């Protein structure tokens, strides 16, 4: 005869088992289909701001040791059902020797020669087409304070609103993929290479060219870069679109602040690179 205590214990175990199955399903989805990602820095401005939340799809390039959440698997070379990222894709990458995730743009693919001269990007010996665009007017908030790293770019707008007025250069890669970068002036990464991207590697850069630890910089402290071209198995997925963005004023115990901190006009923005119908002429 089943006692009341046994019946209660069985019901609790069923609940626990059900929660474990739900947790496993979530982890599987995060690891092999898609997962949310939070932008913690300014390295991909102007397309991405600190405080943005986005969706990263896991399957476009196949799967590797970095695909599972928390990078629990041992390192192995190559990818399952692998497909090389395209130039211009925005991807999640795990730096060699690290368990962190960075977000950068694919600039070079296998056999490409990548070089930066006085801030201008060269691929295979040819200057990438570029043109200056109107400055980006980024509203100042707690997550985008226009601080010392953007010294001299703070301006006042209408109604007392302050903005970071950031100089924009649009690059157009071979094939017509275009995206905006920030050019703040001379910086350490303005002269680099040339280096040749090896088989099974990609060369990655941030769009905020003067404030990005990427393939131009050594891995580990103090530069915390990617140490050159990165093995393609270190690519964790492709950034797809923004879900929402927060200005940094949320308070954990105040649900009203969660809504007040939402930045308008960012939800749903695609992160897939644009195909420029009118490629820019190289400006010297």
Q: Which residues are catalytic?
A: 43, 104
Listed in sequence order, the residues at least 6 apart from 152 whose beta carbon sits closer than 8 Å to its beta carbon are none
Q: Which residue has the tokens 């130039």?
A: 87
Q: Are the CB atoms for 240 and 264 separated by under 8 Å?
A: no
Q: Phi and psi at residue 65, in whole multiples of 5°?
A: -65, -20
For the chain, give percent helix, strand, coil, nearest 5. Answer: 20, 35, 45
Q: Phi and psi at residue 17, in whole multiples of 5°?
A: -60, -40
Query: Beta-carbon neighbour count of residue 204 at 10 Å?
Result: 29
Listed in sequence order, the residues at least 6 apart from 194 whose beta carbon sits closer than 8 Å to its beta carbon are 113, 114, 115, 122, 125
Q: Are the CB atoms for 112 and 137 separated by under 8 Å?
A: no
CA angle 51, 52, 55 (to 5 degrees): 140
DSSP per-residue letters across 162-217: EEEEEEEEEEE-TTSEEEEEE--S--GGGSEEEEEPPTTEEEEE-SBGGG--STTS
Give residue 25's Cα distance to chain centre: 25
Query: Beta-carbon neighbour count of residue 144 at 10 Å?
Result: 21
């Amino acid at each position: 005869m089943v006692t009341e205590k046994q019946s209660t214990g069985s019901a609790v175990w069923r609940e626990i088992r059900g929660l474990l199955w739900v947790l496993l399903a979530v982890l599987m989805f995060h690891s092999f289909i898609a997962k949310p990602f939070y932008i913690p820095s300014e390295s991909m401005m102007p397309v991405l701001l600190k405080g943005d939340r986005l969706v990263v799809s896991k399957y476009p390039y196949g799967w590797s040791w970095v695909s599972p959440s928390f990078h629990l698997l041992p390192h192995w070379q190559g990818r399952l059902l692998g497909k090389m990222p395209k130039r211009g894709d925005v991807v999640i990458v795990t730096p060699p020797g690290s368990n962190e995730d960075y977000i950068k743009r694919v600039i070079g693919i296998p056999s490409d020669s990548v070089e930066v001269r006085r801030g201008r990007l060269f691929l295979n010996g040819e200057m990438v087409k570029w043109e200056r665009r109107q400055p980006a007017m980024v509203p100042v908030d707690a997550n985008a304070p226009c601080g010392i790293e953007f010294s001299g770019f703070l301006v006042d707008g209408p109604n007392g609103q302050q903005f970071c007025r950031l100089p924009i250069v649009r690059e157009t890669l071979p094939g017509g993929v275009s995206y905006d970068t920030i050019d703040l002036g001379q910086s350490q990464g303005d002269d680099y290479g040339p280096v040749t991207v090896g088989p099974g590697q990609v060369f990655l850069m941030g769009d905020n060219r003067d404030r990005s630890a990427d393939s131009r910089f050594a891995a580990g402290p103090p530069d915390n870069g990617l140490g050159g071209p990165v093995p393609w198995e270190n690519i964790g997925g492709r950034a797809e679109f923004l879900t929402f963005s927060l200005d940094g004023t949320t308070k954990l115990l105040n649900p009203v602040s969660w809504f007040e901190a939402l930045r308008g006009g960012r939800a749903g923005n695609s992160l897939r690179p644009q195909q420029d119908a009118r490629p820019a002429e190289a400006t010297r």
